[in-house]
């Protein structure tokens, strides 16, 4: 029953937790060391610097985040099923990692370069473009730019996680209220997307 977790891994997990919650600038290497229960020198022993450790953490965060959509849009599901899958999977993912959306969005503003390598899956966008064009030619859906389609989908899905404190206050909602609202959005968002896109509901 030995916990098979190395110091190196412990540090990365702790770093992910603290960086994700507080952001790069507000995170102190000592916060990470404390969270990981290790000496601060071990952090540098394994990862050299705060910056290098951060790059690893944000790289993995972006990778995971990106993988979900790439898998869905490269799948053989019909468009309306892709939409549903997208919403369900990301709402579940963000519910399990509530600080991730704001972390990714915040830090990607300061790391515009780092994003390049990870976030670019041309296949995903090419597939999406083809599919939207084809369905429009077949008079199944209205004409829409892939960027607009994608923005609609991800905006409706991700923003409620980003703005939870704001919306909760403004709307006077409890945490439970908010969970229930998010659950309802698993159906509402696809309904709205499909209602807008399709000439006849599939």
Tell the smallest beta-carbon distance from residue 149 to DNA (Å): 40
3-class DSSP state for residue 17?
helix
Tell the smallest beta-carbon distance from residue 5 to DNA (Å): 10
Q: Name which of residues 77 to 96 contact a second copy (CB under 8 A).
A: none
- 40 or 118, CB closer to a second copy? 118
Residue 145 interacting with a second copy (CB under 8 A): yes
Residue 34 interacting with DNA (CB under 7 A): no
In the list 159, 179, 183, 202, the residue contacting a second copy (rule: CB under 8 A) is: 159
Element (H, E) at 113: helix 112-119
Please count the other Cβ atoms lying within 10 Å of the Cβ belonging to residue 82: 21
Residue 44 interacting with DNA (CB under 7 A): yes
Q: 156 with 189: CB under 8 angstroms? A: yes
Instruction: Classify the C-alpha dihedral 79-83-62-6 as positive or negative.
Output: negative
Residue 106 touches which of a second copy, DNA, none (CB < 5 to 8 A by kind)?
a second copy
Residue (of 189, 195, 192) closest to 141 by Cα position: 195
CA 90 to chain centre: 7
Interface with DNA (CB under 7 A): 7, 27-30, 38-42, 44-46, 48-51
């Amino acid at each position: 029953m030995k916990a098979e977790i190395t110091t190196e891994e412990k540090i990365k997990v702790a770093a992910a937790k603290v960086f994700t919650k507080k952001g790069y600038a507000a995170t102190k290497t000592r916060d990470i060391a404390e969270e990981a229960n290790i000496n601060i020198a071990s952090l540098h022993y394994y990862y050299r610097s705060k910056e290098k450790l951060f790059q690893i953490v944000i790289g993995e965060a972006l990778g995971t985040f990106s993988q979900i959509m790439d898998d869905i849009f490269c799948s053989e599901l019909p468009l309306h099923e892709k939409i549903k899958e997208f919403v369900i999977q990301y709402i579940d993912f963000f519910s399990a990692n509530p600080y991730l959306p704001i972390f990714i969005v915040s830090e990607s503003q300061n790391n515009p370069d780092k994003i390049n390598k990870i976030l670019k899956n041309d296949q995903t966008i090419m597939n999406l473009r083809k599919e939207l064009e084809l369905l429009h030619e077949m008079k199944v859906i209205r004409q829409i730019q892939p960027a607009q389609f994608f923005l609609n989908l991800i905006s409706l899905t991700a923003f409620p996680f980003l703005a939870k404190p704001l919306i909760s206050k403004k709307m006077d909602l409890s945490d439970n209220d908010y969970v229930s609202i998010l659950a309802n959005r698993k159906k509402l968002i696809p309904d709205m997307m499909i209602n807008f896109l399709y000439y006849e509901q599939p």
